[in-house]
Every structure is written in structure tokens, then in C-alpha cells.
Amino acid sequence: LAAIKRLLKSLNVDDEKFPPRNIANFINHAKEEGQRPGEVEAYDDYSRRCVELYAAYDDQCQREGVVDFAELLLRSYELLQRGQLLREHYQRRFSHILVDEFQDTNTLQYKWLKLLAGGGASVFAVGDDDQSIYAFRGARVGNMADFEREYRVQRVVKLEQNYRSSGHILDAANGLIGHNHNRLGKTLRTDAGAGEPVRVHEATSDYAE
């Protein structure tokens, strides 16, 4: 964020029209989709300017010899994609791959997985599409459905017994989650009994909550 603020100042860009945090989010999203500035589609003057700022930010990072977190992900992917010898080395090295919290992976991480597993590795993926809450940070829950389809998953194990919550809580959760679209589907159950009824409390503010 500090680097983007310096960049905007050096280019005399109005940081009210182009807030630094918005530009940071734009750049992160592009990188997590595996896109360099030349690959990002711009639909209007505003988005075209954002792409220009992305390119200028990349140039600034190159000059200063620094990388952000999304850049680490993108460069690693590009190394594996372009370097056949390197890619084949890691494909041979990892015959079994475990992916945890699959619902929180982004587009670029899924591309990573396909490169690493491309040599015939066995993949064991663990995730819960109903717990996907990080779309604002680039997570793509659709990766789970894509994985099941593209890899012709041989076996799906659903962990439906819950050991933390009572029956009333699970009934309420199942009732709400059941309205979500494109779920892989499961129904939570418990042997802990019904427990106390669920109570609804409306707080006056997030602080009060």
C-alpha cells in the first residue's frame, strides 16, 4: 500500500479518484487470476488507467527489487509453466499431494495444482464449500466443483457428523445453507442431542455485538 501511494504521488495521480487500496485490490486480483498487465481486460477509461498503474507498479517493484505476496504466487506459477525441466522435477518429486482448505484457494493456486499434479500425482483435497467466505480476498469456491469434474474424482468422503454443536444449531445452519446455489451438498448431524433453542439477538452495532 505504501509503494502504491508513492507511485501515485510520483505520477501526480489523484488518490481520491484512484484510492490506493482500490488499486492494490485491483493488482492483487489480477495477479491471483494469473494475469500480467498486458493480459487484463479493460472495459472503460477507469479500468484502462488501473491497468496502466498496475504496469507502472510492476516497473517500480522491478527497479526496487521487491515483490508482494501475490507476486510470489504468480512468479512461482510462471516458473513452473515456462520451465519444463523444473516442472518435471517437481512432478517427479511429489507423487502425492494434499490440498487443505480447498474452498479458500484462488484461480492461480488451482492452476498451480494442475501443473504440479500434471505428472500423474495422486491428489487428496479437503474442503467445505459451505465455509467459503473469502471471495473478497480472491478465493474461488468453484475450484472444488472444477476439481471434481476435471480430475474425475474416484471417491468423495463427506464428513457430516458434527462434534461441536447441538441439534438445534445444526438444524438452523442446514436450513439457511440449504438456500445456497451450486452446493456440492451435505447434511450435518450430531449425536449431542437437541440442546438449547437458537435465540436471535439483534445488536445495536458491531461493537455491541
Q: Above 80 in pLDDT, residue 76?
A: yes
The pLDDT, as a whole number, for residue 94 is 93
Report how far Cα 19 is from the mean position of its chain's Cα atoms: 23
Q: What is the model's pTM?
A: 0.80
The pLDDT, as a whole number, for residue 88 is 95
Q: 19-28, 46-55, 62-71, 148-157 — which is least confidently predicted?
A: 148-157
The pLDDT, as a whole number, for residue 105 is 93
**What is the residue whose three cell numbers read 494442475?**
114
Q: Above 80 in pLDDT, residue 118?
A: yes
Q: 99-113, 123-137, 155-169 — which is least confidently predicted?
A: 123-137
Cβ–Cβ < 8 Å for 123, 117 = yes
C-alpha cell at 101: 482448505
The pLDDT, as a whole number, for residue 205 is 95
Say how far apart CA 91 and CA 120 lie, in whole Å: 8
User: CA angle at residue 92 from 72 to 73, to 5 degrees?
Assistant: 10
Q: Annotate the chain with DSSP letters as a single string.
A: -HHHHHHHHHTT--TTTS-HHHHHHHHHHHHHTT--GGGS---SHHHHHHHHHHHHHHHHHHHHT---HHHHHHHHHHHHHH-HHHHHHHHHH-SEEEE-SGGG-BHHHHHHHHHHGGGT-EEEE---GGG---GGGTB-THHHHHHHHHTT-S------B-SSS-HHHHHHHHHHHTT-SS------B-SS---SPP-----SSTTT-
Top-confidence residue, 186 or 102? 102
pLDDT tens figures, 167-194: 999 999 889 888 888 788 888 899 989 9
Contacts of 203 (CB under 8 A, 6+ apart): 209
Say how far apart CA 14 and CA 152 lie, in whole Å: 50
Q: Above 90 in pLDDT, residue 145?
A: no
pLDDT tens figures, 132-143: 888 877 888 889
Q: 15-19, 92-96, 135-139, 186-190 — which is least confidently predicted?
A: 135-139
